[in-house]
Amino acid sequence: MKTSSTAITFLAIAGTTIAAPANVERDLKPFQLTELNAGLYDQALPAYRIVNFKLNDPNNNIDTSCSSAWSGGMSGAYKFNCSNTDYQVNFPSLTDIEDIKLNVSIVNSKAFALGEINGDKWKCHNTGAEYPSKLCKYDGTYELPIVLA
């Protein structure tokens, strides 16, 4: 008897969980960006910035890489595809590669993640060369919390 009443209690709890409203953001783990780096190519106009990173989405067990070449004339809303084209990135602000605003999103979903890359871990230096004239590298993993639109 004790066993069966435990089973009923368990079923009741499971039923409550299933009945919770859909659409509620719950325990979404942040995107993990590694090998994040950027270069400024301003030898000729328009100047452009190349931003590369590896992207891990722990919620869907996806690993992909993203590479984008953004030039001054482009809209901040322009979406670059990652290698896995379910993932895209745009740059609401990328005039200065020492302070980059980026937005990683999943196509056909409500999930997107806004971040700003700057500060101590974002190490930039002038190369002394023309091409690229400046390089930046992120030290470690950049975590990008996901929100739902």
| Binder of ligand NAG out of 81, 84, 118, 141 (CB under 6 A) | 81
119: its two tokens: 């500060």
The tokens for 103 are 């937005």
13: left (phi over 0), alpha (psi -120 to 50) or beta: alpha
Paired tokens of 78: 């322009």
Closer to ligand NAG by Cβ: residue 48 or 134: 48
Span interacting with ligand NAG, options 2-10, 32-40, 77-85, 129-137, rule CB under 6 A: 77-85
Q: Which range in 22-30, 46-54, 57-65, 85-93 contacts ligand NAG by CB under 6 A?
A: 85-93
Beta bridge partners of 126: 134
Q: Quote the CA–CA distance of 94 and 33 in Å, as a whole number.
A: 17
Work out how close the CB of 21 gets to ligand NAG at its nearest, in angstroms, rounded to a whole number. 22
Residues 87-126 as x/- pattern, contact with ligand NAG by CB under 6 A: ---x-x----------x-x------x-x------------
C-alpha 71/C-alpha 62 separation (Å) is 28
Site of interaction with ligand NAG (CB under 6 A): 77, 81, 85, 90, 92, 103, 105, 112, 114, 149
